[in-house]
Each structure stands twice: as structure tokens, then as C-alpha cells.
A and B are shown apart, each in its own frame.
Chain A
Amino acid sequence: MDYTIATVAPIVLVPFFAFVINAFIVKKFTKFAVGLSVAAIFTSFLFALRIFLDFMNVYSVGYHIHKVFNWFDISAGETIFKVNMGIYIDNMTAIMLLMVTGAATIIHVFSTWYMHDDPRFGRFFVYLSLFSSAMLGLVLSENLLSVFIFWELMGFCSYSLIGFYYEKEGAGNASMKAFMTTRVGDVFFLLGIIAIWSVVGSVSFVDIYNAIAIGKFTGVYALGIPLATFAGFAVFLGTVGKSAQVPLQVWLPDAMWGPTPCSALIHAATMVAAGVYLSLRMFPLMELGHLTPLIAYIGAITAFGAATVALVQTDIKAVLAFSTISQLGYMVIGIGVGSYNASFMHLITHAVFKACLFLSAGSVIHSIHTQEMPQMGGLRHKLPYTFLAMLLCCFAIAGVPFFSGFVSKDRILGDALVLALSNPVYIPVALLGFAGALLTAFYMFRMLFLTFFGKPRDHHIYDHAHHEHLGWNSNIPLLILSIFTLGLFYSGSFTGQGEANLFGSRYEWFSTLVHKPDAKSLHHFAEYTSEEFGNTDTRIKEELPKAAYDGRHGLSEEEAHHVHFIHKMGAIMSVIIAFSGIFLAYLMYVKNAVNPGWWTDTFAGWTRALKGKYYFDDFYIGKLIKGILLPFNNFLAWFDMVVYDKYAIDGWEAVNRWAFTVSRWFDDAIVDSGMVDGTGASVRLMNVVMRTIQSGKIQLYFVVLIVVLASYVWSLSF
């Protein structure tokens, strides 16, 4: 397949045009608009599938496609600022495209069922189309500036969809909160882009890799710290805002005010993952800036803290929201410990099972019209398919073997363990990671048991729930997604560790294709910049022998053996932890052998802290906003009123008044009396003269005629 911008751009443009068209027709032709949105995202899915299959066919690490055209060029002299728009597709992009379009298609289809009775049925799809287009644009982006544009566009869609039920006050506030909180990260992200540009002179990924490879960042300092650190940290703060990491995680639980499919698409599968995706893209920069320990700590704190908060939540979507934060924390740990491809794999697997979990929760909510788990129970008899899907997803997220979560998460934890054993700095990271895994297994199965097992706790609600039947747009999407929670799709081996011998190493495709961009793989970026490959074919193929997959990642045999051993230990620990968590939940909520009330009573202070989500909201709103920002705001208002208004504006008014007096005098005396009236007077004078001549009295004309004629003839005669 010959790739040009024109053949790839439809992935983004088809949903975008669907958005544009739907925005106009959605009120009149709701059904058509919905169909158009679904068809558009499905078209994008087909395009993405084509690209994915092509990349799988080439099956090379270094293969990427890079096409650009010049968007604008505002270089001035020495300062170069030339921004290209274009596409950059490598293996990661291809996988991401398939995931995003696939998840989006399934969620679109599910939404046609879930949102069907909503009065703003059509508008929801308008936002979904715009969002899909923006997300795909971000994935395809060739440079940080266009990433930022799509990033903000997604932020807007998220804002609109969180506030979708704008009649509810909470929804409006939540949307504002989400927008403002992510804005903090976005400002830093933009700052990071500027910092990068100041060194590289371009914002293209390729140019950034190039600059890293040829060492442009060495010896560049900003405010006394290395610029790579500064820029990497700023970009990472963008990730923190978008992917809801500590300390900017507060918006994601509130984002659950939005409709459940939008939570599944935006706040679980794609948009929050975009932050991690960005960090993965900028990983060489973060590594160059020695930011990985910090990133690992932030991820670990997020992963563990969110998991603890999820323990006490009673709202089914809140549990999922905190679990999303927690899982995003694992991805960030993966970045921090250098477990690049596991982090990205976790992004993909998490997107699949978390989307499925959200859709299952949506199915439950749609059936019983409540989100409170204490009112549920025993629903597996009423909602068997949903239960099946959710069970598979819970296995996946808990890290049960043979499921995708096990494959990806355990690689992250295994790498963390390897690092912790060699570097004590990472010991807390590994501990928090494993503790979080235990809690994850526990709270997910707590949710599952509370919802689907036991006796119905609210008979009224239970009796009103309909038995579900297989429907092409209600539970078939869930079942499709739940199939992809099997680890088999992501790793040839069931355990996810080591090479697969089942179908040859080719099926260990994930770890073969996605590699940490180390110095070795960055070297070919040193050979070209985005400038040079403006419109030429930029396929760079580095044929990797398909059979000779190097499972040791370049380590010596002894080291590889050591690493392998630790990975195995980690995997065994993970399995034990997962099953113990599940068993604990089983004891508590199915067998009632352990009374949860005893725990909450014993650790009442902790429970309060957890229910208060560690008081982040109280701190931000009560202390930061009310304590600092509001007084500052009031001070500014006071300054505005008293100083600026009184002196600057009123003073300016006085100056103006004086100037006005002078100019009025000038106007009256000179312009008006002298010039305007003078003109009038002179015209009037001329008028008198001319009027006297032009009297209309014919005899006067005659006299004049005679006099003139006479003088003429007289003058002739001399």
C-alpha cells in the first residue's frame, strides 16, 4: 500500500466530516446522523485495519512512514520556526489506530442502544464523531504542535460530554472541573513544547529524536536545570493532567457525570490513554532528562492511592473511575521503570477491558436505573451476558493468568522488580505496584460480587429489571470486547513471559514490534530530519529476521537468565496476589465470612480519608482555591477597583476631559469659527457678488453685453 497523506488522512477526516454534517442536520434527521457517525467511525476502522495489516506484513521494528507538508513558516532570520503537518506512522501508531478505531466503533454501536431514549441522542454522536476524529488525529500527528491541537480538541469534547446532562448542577461543575484541571497540565505541556522548540527549532517528533540522537540537548540549561529535564517534565505534566495522575487526578472521578459510553470511550479507553501515549512518544526525552524515577514514583503513588480509594466506593462508575486512574498509574510506572513496550501493551489491553467494563456497567445502569452498588445484587440471573463480559474483564484487570491484564501488568511489575533489586530507589515503586495489584483484584471483584452475586438487596429495583436478550447493539459489543481480554491476542504465550513457541516467535508480535527507543534505535533518526523528507518516500525498513527474535533484549546470557528468573518470580507473586485478592473479596461479599463493617469501624479514620478521596478536592477547593486563589482573585479585583479603576481609568478620564476641553476650544474657536464659518462667509460673499451678476434681469445682461462688446471692438480698433 502506497501511503500518502491523502490515503491516510481519511481516518481523521471521515469522522470529522461526519461531525460537521451532523452538527447541522442532527436536529431534523437524528437517525440518519447517528447512522452517519457509526458509518464514519467504521470507515476509519477499516482504514486503520488496512494500515495495521500492512505493518504486520512488513513486520519490522524500524519501519515507519513519515509524510509532511509545510503548514506555516514563520522563521525570522536565525530563528527557525517551521511547522509541518503530516503523518507519522510506526508500529505503535498502527496498533494504537486499530485500538482507537475498534474501541470507538464498538462504543458507537453500543451507544445507539444506550443513548436511544435520550432527548439529545443525536448530539451525543456529534460529540463522539468529533472526539474520534481528534483522537485519531493525535495518534497520527507528526509533531507536538498538532498533538497539542488535537489534545485540546479532545479536552473540549471531554468537557462537552461530561456536561452532557447539563440540567444537573453536578454535571456542569464536573465538566468545568475537568476542563480547568486538565488546563493546568496543558499549560505546562505548551511550555514544554516551547522549551523543546527553543533547542530543536522544530516540534516534529523526528526532529526531536534527531536532536536527542545528535546530542543537541547536552549542555543546554534553563534556569539552572538541564533543558531536557525541564522540557520532559513539562510535557510529562501534560500527561499528568490528561491521564489523571497525582496530583491532577481529581477530575476523572467527577467525569463520571457523563453518559457511560462516553466514559468508556473518553475516560477509559482513549483520551486518558493519550497522555500515556504522549509520554511514550517523548520517552527518549524523559530518559535524557533523568525523569524516570520521578515518573515511576508518581505512577506508583497514583496506582496505589487510587486503588485504595476504590475500596470504599459504592457507586459502580466511581469504582471504575478510580480503577482507571490506578491502571493509568501502572502505565506511568511502566514508563518510569523503562518497561516501554509493556506500558504500551497495558495501554492497549486496559483500553479494551476497561471499555468493556464501562459498557457492562452502562448495561447494568441502563437496566436498573441506579449506579449504587448497595442497591444491586444477584443481577447475574437477569443480566447473564453482561455478567459474562464483566467477569472476563475483571479477570483481566485483576491479572489472572491467560488474560490480557496479566500479560501487560505483570511485565510492568516484573521490570519494576528487576529495577528494584538492582537499584533501591525503585523498591517503593515495586512494593506499591504489587500492593496496588492486590487491591485491584480485591475491589474489582468486590464490585462484581456486589453487583451480580448474592441476594437482591433492593427487590423493587431487581424486579423491575428486564431479562436481557442478545441484541446486536446492546450486549454483543460487550461480548466482542470481552473476547479480546484474552492474553492470547497480545502475547503468543499464555503467561506473557518469555518467547512463545506455539506458532513461532512471530506471534510474540507485541514485544517484537514495540521497542524502547534507545540509543541504538534512535540512530537512524540522526540521519534525517523532517525537513529533508518533505514529500519523498520515507519508509525506513530495518529488516528484522523474523525467526531470530532476540528475547534477551541485548543482554548477556547470564543477565538474561537473571532477568528472566526475576520476571518469573514476579509473575508467580502476581498470580498469588491476584487470587488472594479475589478470594478475600469472595469471603467478604459472597460468603460473608469476613464482615467489611469491622474493617471500616476499626480503621474509621482511614475509611473517612478514603471516602474523602484523600481530601484532594477539599485541599484544592478549600485551601488552594478558597485560600489562595480566591483571596488573590479578590486582591486583583480590589486592585482593579481601587487602583486601576480609580487612578488609571479615572485619571485617564481626567486627562481625556482636559484634552477634550482644549480640543473643544480649538474646535469652536479655530476650526468652527475660523475655518468652517470662514468658508461659509467667503462663499456667502461670493454668493452676493455672483447673485448680483446672475440676477436674471435680462436688461442688465444686455448692458453688460454692450459694454463688453464695445470694449472688445474698441480694443480691436487700435
Chain B
Amino acid sequence: MISLGSYLAISFFLFVCGIMVMIARKNIIAIFLGIELVLNASALNFAAYTKFVNHNLDGHIMSIFIIVTAAAEAAVGLGIVIRFFQLRESIHIDDAATLQN
């Protein structure tokens, strides 16, 4: 039951859900949610591969870095969102389509 295939299936599902969230939603924060899902899917893949194939801890290290990156990205991204909201009073992704100003 606990096998590489099941883990890959779960992470695949997470990945597809993340992509759909990223594309379907028009809210910037919601898009962040999708990004978190995709990142989790990849981190889960690393952990699964290292468990079932490599039998060492390199995948764990990669997962840790992914988590670190995700945290940093979330912090900066949400800061940008807040800033954007302060300027435009909006968090609609299409309102951020202008390339200047």
C-alpha cells in the first residue's frame, strides 16, 4: 500500500490540483495556494523517491530546501500582495497586468 506508485499518484494529483488552482483562480492569494500545492507535490516526490529508490537522505535535504524556498517565496510574495493592495486596493490578478506604473 505504501509504495512509490501511490506516492507518485498522490503527488501527481496534488500537482494537477495546484496547476488548476493557479490557472482557474483570479485572486493572487489563491494562486499562492496553488503554488504551495505544486511545491508540496514536488517535495513529496523527492521524499518518496529517496525512500523507495535511493535509500539515502538526499531527497530529504532537497525537500527541506524546497520548504525553505516556499517559505521565503510566501513571505516575499505576500509582502508584494500587501503592497499591491495598498497601492491599488485590489488583489485581482488581471489588475496587475500593466507592465509599468
User: Which positions in A face B, CB cutoff 8 Å?
Assistant: 694-699, 702-703, 706
Contact B93 A699, beta carbon cutoff 8 Å: yes
Contacts of A699 on B, CB cut-off 8 Å? 22-23, 31, 93
A462 to chain B, nearest CB (A): 100
Main SS of the interface on chain B? helix
A249 to B31, CA, bound (A): 110
Contacts of A702 on B, CB cut-off 8 Å? 22-23
Contact B22 A696, beta carbon cutoff 8 Å: no
Q: Specify which of A694, A698, A706 is in contact with B96 (CB 8 Å cutoff).
A: A698
B47 to chain A, nearest CB (A): 23
Q: List 20 A-B contacts (CB under 8 A).
A: A694-B99, A695-B97, A696-B96, A696-B97, A696-B98, A696-B99, A697-B93, A697-B94, A697-B97, A698-B31, A698-B93, A698-B96, A699-B22, A699-B23, A699-B31, A699-B93, A702-B22, A702-B23, A703-B23, A706-B19
A6 to chain B, nearest CB (A): 74
A30 to B19, CA, bound (A): 97
Fill in one digit per residue for B28-52: 1 if any A CB lies within 8 Å of its CB, else 0. 0001000000000000000000000
Contacts A696-B96, A697-B93, A698-B96 supplied; 16 other A-B pairs, CB < 8 Å: A694-B99, A695-B97, A696-B97, A696-B98, A696-B99, A697-B94, A697-B97, A698-B31, A699-B22, A699-B23, A699-B31, A699-B93, A702-B22, A702-B23, A703-B23, A706-B19
A97 to B22, CA, bound (A): 107
Interface residues on B, range: 10 to 19
A696 to chain B, nearest CB (A): 3
A698 to B97, CA, bound (A): 7
CB-based nearest A residue for B25: A699
Q: For residues 42 through 70 of chain B, which have their beta carbon under 8 Å from a beta carbon of chain A?
A: none
CB-based nearest A residue for B28: A698
A696 to B92, CA, bound (A): 13
A331 to B98, CA, bound (A): 100
Fill in one digit per residue for B77-101: 1 if any A CB lies within 8 Å of its CB, else 0. 0000000000000000110111100
A336 to chain B, nearest CB (A): 97
CB-based nearest B residue for A695: B97
A134 to chain B, nearest CB (A): 74
A555 to B75, CA, bound (A): 130
Contacts of B98 on A, CB cut-off 8 Å? 696
CB-based nearest A residue for B23: A699
Contacts of B93 on A, CB cut-off 8 Å? 697-699
A698 to B19, CA, bound (A): 13
CB-based nearest B residue for A706: B19
Fill in one digit per residue for B8-28: 1 if any A CB lies within 8 Å of its CB, else 0. 000000000001001100000
A697 to B22, CA, bound (A): 12
Contacts of B99 on A, CB cut-off 8 Å? 694, 696
Contacts of A696 on B, CB cut-off 8 Å? 96-99
CB-based nearest A residue for B24: A699
CB-based nearest B residue for A696: B97
B24 to chain A, nearest CB (A): 9
B38 to chain A, nearest CB (A): 11
B7 to chain A, nearest CB (A): 21
Contacts of B31 on A, CB cut-off 8 Å? 698-699
A703 to B94, CA, bound (A): 15
Contacts of B96 on A, CB cut-off 8 Å? 696, 698
Contacts of A694 on B, CB cut-off 8 Å? 99
A471 to B15, CA, bound (A): 122
A694 to B97, CA, bound (A): 9
- The 5 A-B pairs with the shortest beta carbon distances in the complex, nearest first, are A696-B97, A697-B97, A696-B99, A699-B23, A695-B97
Contacts of A695 on B, CB cut-off 8 Å? 97
CB-based nearest A residue for B22: A702
A221 to B73, CA, bound (A): 106
A412 to chain B, nearest CB (A): 101
CB-based nearest A residue for B26: A699
B16 to chain A, nearest CB (A): 11
A548 to chain B, nearest CB (A): 109
CB-based nearest B residue for A703: B23
Contacts of A703 on B, CB cut-off 8 Å? 23
A319 to B94, CA, bound (A): 108
A698 to B26, CA, bound (A): 10
A706 to chain B, nearest CB (A): 7
B55 to chain A, nearest CB (A): 28
Contacts of B19 on A, CB cut-off 8 Å? 706
- Residue in A695, A697, A698, A702 with the greatest tally of chain B CB atoms within 10 Å: A698
B26 to chain A, nearest CB (A): 8
Contacts of B97 on A, CB cut-off 8 Å? 695-697
A698 to B77, CA, bound (A): 14
CB-based nearest A residue for B19: A706
Contacts of B22 on A, CB cut-off 8 Å? 699, 702
CB-based nearest A residue for B99: A696
Contacts of A697 on B, CB cut-off 8 Å? 93-94, 97
A699 to B19, CA, bound (A): 10
A706 to B97, CA, bound (A): 20
